[in-house]
Every structure is written in structure tokens, then in C-alpha cells.
Chains A and B, each alone.
Chain A
Amino acid sequence: MQTTTRASATTPSAARPSVWTRIGRALTTPRAARITFPVVFVLLWQLIAPLIPSRILPMPAEVAEEMWQMLTDGTVVDAFSVSLLRLLIGFSIALVVGGILGLAMGVSPRINAMLHDFVVVGLTFPYLIWGLLVAMWWGFEPQGPVIVVIIAALPYVMLNVSEGVRDVSKELRDMAAAYEVPEARSMRHLVLPSLSPFFFASLRYGLANGWKGLVLAEVFAAVSGAGYVINEFRDYGNFAGIISMALYFAIFSIIVERLVFGRLSRWVFRWRPSIAAEVTEIPETVTP
């Protein structure tokens, strides 16, 4: 009896903290922090923009206006849909070719020895150079940017697929052998699922790098697409346009990351419940 009275005497202040404490607590949660970042970013931008000589950096409001106009007159949708089509065509080719080559590298140490160094050089070779080369070779013909996507994505696909093939657990393969599991079933239930994280990685890095290569190629070897549009703004000295396009690039990334990779990775990794939530956003290691 005594304890209950004492407890009820102390509860009001303990259970119901003041409004300010609650707001403070809500603002310090990681969730709130994610919203705080863009707010701080825009505030800083608003403060810093007027300080830069000759008002080179446009104000947030100007950029917002420019972004709205680009959206309504169709510039953005046109630019990104053209680029997306090139990306998907190029990447599909890279996935097939890279998948076959990666498989061969994973299975045969000889083929691995032959191709390994080219994969390394491929990872290091600047996309800028590919963009310039296809521009010189084909001018503005449509295959140029697609070829850069293929070249940019290929080494990532090859590398991840070959690592994946080598990573298939020998213990599990022995288990399947001991139980005389048919080859086709073993392929479907053992080999393919164990490849899936690597396949997923090649999808993610291949697409990301294909995208980076594509945008550069569009600067030099195309008259349409996101890369072409942002470079055109540079030519005309339209700074609000450049910043607007940069923000559209960011929005494009968010959409791809959240809607495509987020869902895909949750599905691919559904068998490891604790990790599935984590891998969706920041990749563990990122290759330049």
C-alpha cells in the first residue's frame, strides 16, 4: 500500500516530462537527425550564397524556381528517361558479358590469370577517357554512350561474379555430393542463392559506375541525356541550372536506392533477418 502511494506521488513528473524535454528528446533521435541534415544544409546555403563574390552561387529560392520550371517544361523527365534507357541497355549487355566472363574466371584459374589484370586496369581507367574516345570514334552516334556504360560496368560485374563463384561453400557442395543431390537442384538451391549477394553487389556497383560513365559520355558524345543537359547549362553559364540538375541527380539516386535496391536487398537477404535491414542503405565497401 505504502509503495503504491509513493509511486503515484512520483509518477507525474517521471512519466510526463515537460513539452520542451519531449521536443528535445525527439530532436536527438537518429530519425530526426536525418531530417535535420537537409534543413541545416539549406540554411547554410542561404547564409553562404550571398557571401560568395559576384553572387555566383544562386540562392535556394532561385534554384527551387529553376527546378520547378525544368520539371514543368519536361526538361528533367526527357533528360533522365533518355539516360535511363541508355543505362539499362548498356548494363544489360555488361551483365550478360560480364557474367559469362566472371563465371569463367571463377571456375578456371587460367582464365582468371589471363583477365585479372585487365579487370584491375578497367577499374582504374577514367571514364572521362572513354567518353572522349567514343566521341572521337563515333561522334554523336547513339552507340557511344551505351558502350561507355558497358565498359564502366563490366569490370565490377566480372569481379563480383568470379569472387562469388569461388566463394560457394565447399562444405555445402560436399554435403550435396554426399547426399547425391542432382546437379540441377544443387545449382538452383545451393549455387545460385550463394551467388546472390555477389550478383547483387555487381548490380549495385555496376549500375552506379555505369551511370557515372554514361553521364560523362553524354557530355562529349551525345546531344541528349542528363550529362548533356548539365553541361549545356555550364556552356550558357546558367548556374541555377547546374545546381538544379545536381539536385535532380541526387533525387534520382534516392529513388533508385530506396525503391529498387532497398526492396531488392531486403528480398535477396530475407534469410538473414538481422542483416537485411542494415545492408539497404550504405554499402559496406565501395569501390571507386
Chain B
Amino acid sequence: MATVNVQHLRKVFDGQDRPVVALDDVSFEASGHTFVSIVGPSGCGKSTLLNILAGIETPTTGQVEITENGSRARVGYVFQAPRLLPWRSVMDNMLFVQKERSAETTERATRYLDMVGLAEHHTSWPAQLSGGMQQRVGIARAFSIEPDALLMDEPFSHLDAITARGLRRELYSIWQETKKTVLFVTHDVGEAVELSNRIVILAKGGKLRQDVAVDLPYPRDPADDQVALMKADVLRQFEELDLIAT
């Protein structure tokens, strides 16, 4: 069981003329089969948080760790853009991130490609796929390393509403099947309510402002009354926290 542990995390960037605070004393914990959405206005340090968790960036102060039964966990990352190697086939992209190459990893990569419905495209170049299909390869890639935890950075924001909706359903069913810990960054409150059982609200300046539990039965239909009410409730909290720019 994976545990995400963030303690007093602070990140400051060298700005053009003065330092920019991206994250300010952020602490939270998540573990097990949880889906945590991190929601906030643009520029609140959501992506920085994921990059630090993924080890791409280092915290200025504070501690961050993702563990699996006490040892360091393996983490999958789905980015906003698909970030596929354009000069490698879909299958080679899947294999690029595997720990070792073996018949077993190839089989696993095929299985996850199949799960997102792209098994027959394994020899295509990324440029031959649509944006939605590329993003699905990105999702399959993240799951195919059988990670203990999964980081997702607005993975559906570049896609059209219908494709995004289909992919949300796929994501939900894979999550149910694999029971991973997911940290999901989004600026779309509806999406957060539909998918997650916890919503963390970040404010501009990188302060953690609210931690909301979403106790609704899965699978959730965005048109469902309860889901809509919850969404309205979260948006009201945004209003109360004065996070909505006027």
C-alpha cells in the first residue's frame, strides 16, 4: 500500500526580479486506494507539487516522500501533454519507461495498451494518432510500470469534452481494478467531484486552503443530482475562500 506524505513543503523559484513562492507550507497525507484531486486557480503551484513528488524538482524546504510498505515507491506520471517520443513507435514508447526489457514487460505493455483500446496501434508513430489517443498511450504508459502511486497533471485539459469524458470513465475503471493511490491535479471542479474521494484546494501563492472529503457512491454520473450538488458545494467553498478572481 502506497503512502504519499508531504510535510511543510515550500518551493521558491528565482523570478525575473524577485523570488516567486510556488508552494507555501503544504502538508497532507494520502494512502491506499484513494483518489485525491488537487484543485486551484492557475499559478497556484499544482504542477510544481507533482513535479516535486515525481523527483523532477527539489523542494526548497520541507519533506516529501512516497513509500510502499516503508520503501521507496514506484510512481507513474501522466502529463498535461502526452510527452511521447515522437520518433519512437507507440510500443517503443511504452517500453522506454520499463525497468527492464523482457517478454513479461512487453506482454504487460500490450495488456495496458489493450485496456485503453489501442492494442492494434502499437506500431504507429505518435504523430499518426489523435490527441486523445496519444493521451491514452500516456495513461497506459503510466499504469504499465505497475506503479504504487500515480501522479496526473490535468491529463484531460487539452482534449475535447466528449473524449475527456470517455477517458475519465476509463481512468475510473482502471483505478478500480488496480487500486492505486492517485494524485490528480485539475482546475475543473466537476472533474474532481466526479472522480475523487478527496479534494485538496490550493490557493494562489501555494497555500493549502481546504481538504474536502467526497463521500459519494461510485460510479458517478456528472449529471446526477448529488454530484451536481457536491460540485456546487465545492464551488461555494471557493467563493468563501475568496479564490475566484473578479
Contacts and interface: CB of A to CB of B under 8 A. Distances in A.
A179 B56 CA distance: 10
A171 B79 contact: yes
Nearest to B127: A272
Contacts of B68: none
A85 interface: no
Interface string A157-185: 00000000000000110111111110001
Given A271-B127, A273-B128, A175 B83 contact: yes
B128 A175 contact: no
A179 B87 contact: no
B78 to A, nearest CB: 10
B99 to A, nearest CB: 8
Interface string B127-160: 1100000000000000001000001000000000
B128 to A, nearest CB: 7
Contacts of B125: 271-273
Contacts of A181: 96-97
A229 B79 CA distance: 61
B54 A178 contact: yes
Contacts of B51: 174
Given A171-B79, A175-B79, A271-B125, A189 B88 contact: yes
A189 B96 contact: yes
A179 B97 contact: yes
B86 interface: yes
Nearest to B80: A171
Interface string A46-69: 000000000000000000000000
Contacts of A272: 86, 125, 127
Contact of B55 (A177, A194, A196): A177
B81 interface: yes
A177 B83 contact: no
Contacts of B87: 193-194, 196, 271
Nearest to B138: A175
24 contacts: A171-B83, A172-B83, A172-B85, A174-B83, A175-B77, A177-B55, A177-B56, A178-B54, A178-B56, A179-B76, A179-B97, A180-B55, A181-B97, A185-B96, A189-B96, A190-B85, A193-B87, A193-B88, A194-B87, A196-B87, A271-B87, A272-B86, A272-B125, A273-B125
Interface of A: 171-172, 174-181, 185, 189-190, 193-194, 196, 271-273
Interface of B: 51, 54-56, 75-77, 79, 81, 83, 85-88, 92, 96-97, 125-128, 145, 151
